[in-house]
Structure 1
Amino acid sequence: MGIDVIRNPRSETAPEPGGAANPAPPARRRRRTDGARWTAWAFLAPVVGYLAAFYAYPLYRNVELSLREYTVRSFVQGGAPFAGLDNYRTVLSAPTFSPALLNTVVFTVTSLVFQFALGLLLALFFHRHFPLSRTLRALFLVPWLLPLIVSASTWSWLLNSEAGVVNAALAVLGVEQVNWLTSPRWSLASVIIANIWIGIPFNLVVLYSGLQAIPRVLHEAAELDGAGRWQRFRWITWPLLRPVSAITLLLGLVYTLKVFDLIWIMTRGGPTDSSTTLATWSYRLGFGNLLPEFGPGAAVGNLLILLAVAAGGCYLGFERRRRLS
C-alpha cells in the first residue's frame, strides 16, 4: 500500500533558504550584453564622428599635402605628383626656417614664463578674499573673453608709432619714439607683450582653482609652527599646486605654439621676418602669396605639430618620473 505524497508547487522552483536565485538563461544574458554594447557605441558614435571629421581627416589631408607637389589647378582637380620628402627638404633649407624657428621658441618660452608668473602672482593675490576681489577677478577675465581680432587691433592702435598711446606716454617721460610694429628690433617684443596680456587670465583662473583645492588647515598649522609666507608657499602651496601648474604650462605651450592671428594682424610676421613664426610662415606659404605653395606650407604645419607632440611627450615623461620618485 503506497503513500501519496502531497507536494507544494512552490517547493520545486523556490530557492533553498540562504541559496541564490535561479540565474538568467545564457541567451538572455547575451542579449543584455549585446544591448549594452550597442548602447555604448550609440553614445560614442557622435564623438567618434566629430573626431574623425574635424581632426583625423584634416591631419591626414595635411600630411598628404606635404608629400605632393600641389598647384592651384591640381588642388582643385587632383592629380598632384608624389614628391616624397622634397617639401620638407625645401622648408628646412629655406633661409626663413632658422629665424622662424628661433622666433617661435622665443615667442613661446617668453610668453609662457611671464603668463605663468603673473598669473600665479594674481592668483595668490586674489586668494586672500579682500573686498571687491570678485569684481576685480571678473575684470581680469576681459582679455581672455575678447575675440583675438579685437585684442590684436587694440594693441596695434596702442603701439602705433605716430598716434599710439604708448608712445604718447613715453614722450611725456622724455623717451624718444619707438617703432614698435615696424622696427625689426621691437616687432617680436610687441607681439609677445600682447600675447602675455591675453594669456594671463587663463593662468589666473586655472591656478586660482588649484589654490582653492588646497586645505586651509595645512597653512594654519604651518603658521602656528612659526612658518612665514615664503616658507608656507615653498613647502605647502607649490608642491600641492605642481600638478595644476604642469597642466597649465602644457596647455599654454600648445596654445602659444599655434598663435597666428595675433601676429598676422599686428605685424604680418615682418618686417623682414623679424616676427615670423612657424605658424605665420605656414599660412604665408599656403595662402599669403599669389602663387601658393601648398606642399611646403603643409610641411611647416606638420613640423609645428611635431613640436607640440614632443612637448606633450616631455610632459608625460616628467609626470611619470615625478610619480615614480
Structure 2
Amino acid sequence: MARPDTAPPPRATVDRWWSPRRRERLLQLAFLLPAAVYLVAFFGFPVVKNVLMAFEQYTTTTFYTGEAPWVGFANYQAVLGSSGFGRAALNTALFTVGSIAGQFGIGLAIAVFFRRRFPLSRLLRSLLLLPWLIPLIVSSAVWRWILDQDSGVLNRFLGAVTGGSVQLGWLTSTSLALIAVIIVNIWIGIPFNTTILYGGLQDIPEELYEAAAIDGATGFRAFRYVTWPLLRPVVTVVLMLGVVYTVKVLDIILGLTNAGPANATQTIATQSYQLSFQQFDFGQGAALGNVLIVVSLVFALFYLRANRRTVQS
C-alpha cells in the first residue's frame, strides 16, 4: 500500500514564521552581529586572557616554550604584598581625587560662565576643546618643557614675578612631582567636564530662572536652588566617568615623570605597565591590571545606576 505524500505546511504557518516583525528582528540582529564580533575579539578576549594570565607564571620564556605554569593567587599575593603597592595605591587615590576635584570645579565654573551670551563665545568654546584634542604624548612633551627646572617657562615666569631666581623641581622633586602631574591632568580633563556640564545647563528652562528671580533668587541663590538640583543627574554621570577615566591614566604620568622620582608618581596603572613591559613579569602585571578592572567596574556600575535614574526621571 503506497504511503500518502506528506502534506505541505499550511500557508498561515509559513506566513507567521516569516512575518514582518520577525524579518525586522533578524535584520536588527544582522546589524548587531559585526559589533558583537568586534567587542568579543578586541575587548572580551583580552580581558579573559588578562584574567587567566594573572593565575600563571607568564614571562618571556612563555613565548618560546608555550608553557605558563599555574601559580594560583601567587601573583596577587606578590603584588598586593609588595612594598611599593601601598605607595602606588595612595598615589592613585590622590591623583584621582585631585584630578576629579580640579577638573569638575573648573569645568563647572567655565560651563556656567559660557551659559551667558557674549561676543566670540562660540569661538572660545571651540578653542577650549584643544587640550582634549591634542595627542597626550604631545601634551606631555609641551608640559615637560613648561615645567623644566632649569629652562622651564613656569619657573621663569615665577622668577620674573618674584624678582629672583626660581628653580623648583616640578618633575624631579618627590614633594612636587605628583602635584605637577595632577595639574597637567586637570588641564587635559577640563574640556570634557565643561562640554558635558554645559550641555546639562542648556537643558534647564530659562523660565525657571525668571520665576526664581521674582522670588528673589538670583546669582548664587539661583545656582543653589535652581541650577544645582536640576544639574545633579549630569554631575553624577560626569563624576563617575571621570573616576573611571582617571584611575587608569598611564601615558601622561609616563610622559612627564616615568612614575618617578623615587616612585613619587607611581600609580597602580604605571606599576602594572612596568611589571609587564619593563620587568616582563606579565603574570604580576596582569594581576595589577585586574585590580584596576575591578575598581573601574565598581564605578562603572555606579555610573550605569545613575544613568538609569537619569533616564527614568
* TM-score in terms of structure 1 length: 0.88
Deviations for 1:125-155, whole angstroms, at most 9, x for unmatched residues?
Answer: 0000111111111111110110000111111
Shift of 1:169: 1.0
Contact 2:233 2:306 in 1 (8 A): no
Q: 3-state SS of the aligned residue for 2:18?
A: helix
Cα distance in 1 for residues equivalent to 2:248 and 2:116:
35
The code of the aligned residue for 2:78 comes to T
Determine helix, strand or coil for the equivalent of 2:174. Answer: coil
- 1:178 paired residue number: 168
1:278 to 247, 268, 282: 268
CA distance in 1, matches of 2:236, 2:64: 44
**CA 57–167 in structure 1, closer or farther in 2 if over 3 Å, else same:** same
Counterpart amino acid of 1:299? A
Structure 2 partner of 1:196 = 186
* Deviation at residue 324 of structure 1 after TM alignment: 11
SS in 2 for 1:271: coil
What is the 5 A alignment of 1:114-133?
114-133=102-121
Tell whether 2:225 aligns with 1:235: yes
**Structure 2 counterpart SS, 1:129:** coil
Q: Percent identity?
A: 47
Is 2:43 the partner of 1:55?
yes
Unpaired runs of 5+ residues, structure 2, are 1-10
Q: Contact 2:273–2:285 at 8 Å: present in 1 too?
A: yes
Q: Give the aligned residue type for 2:220.
A: W
Post-superposition Cα deviations, 1:37-80, rounded to whole Å, max 9, x if no partner, equal 33222111011001101111000010111110012121354221
Aligned-pair CA distance for 1:317: 5.9
* TM-score normalised by the chain length of structure 2: 0.91
Shift of 1:319: 7.1
Q: For 1:197 and 1:323, how far apart are their aligned partners in 2?
A: 30
Are the equivalent residues in 2 in contact too, given 1:170–1:177 (CA < 8 A)?
Answer: no
SS at match of 1:302: helix
For 2:17, the equivalent position in structure 1 comes to: 30
1:260 alignment counterpart = 250
Listed one character per residue, the Cα deviations across residues 249-270 of structure 1 (whole Å, up to 9, x for unaligned) are: 1111111011100000100000
Query: Unpaired segments of 5 or more residues in structure 1?
Result: 1-23
Q: What's 2:300 paired with?
A: 312
Matches of 2:306 and 2:120, distance apart in 1: 39
Match of 1:136 among 97, 105, 124: 124
Question: Which residue number corresponds to residue 143 of structure 2?
Answer: 155
Question: How many residues in Structure 1 have an aligned counterpart in Structure 2?
Answer: 300
Whole-angstrom CA distance in 1 between matches of 2:36 and 2:62: 31
RMSD: 2.0
CA distance in 2, matches of 1:210, 1:86: 47
Note if 1:45 corresponds to 2:53: no
Alignment partners' CA distance in 1, 2:110 and 2:64: 51
Alignment of 1:198-237 (within 5 A): 198-237=188-227
- How far 1:205 sits from its partner (Å)? 0.5
Partner of 2:284: 296
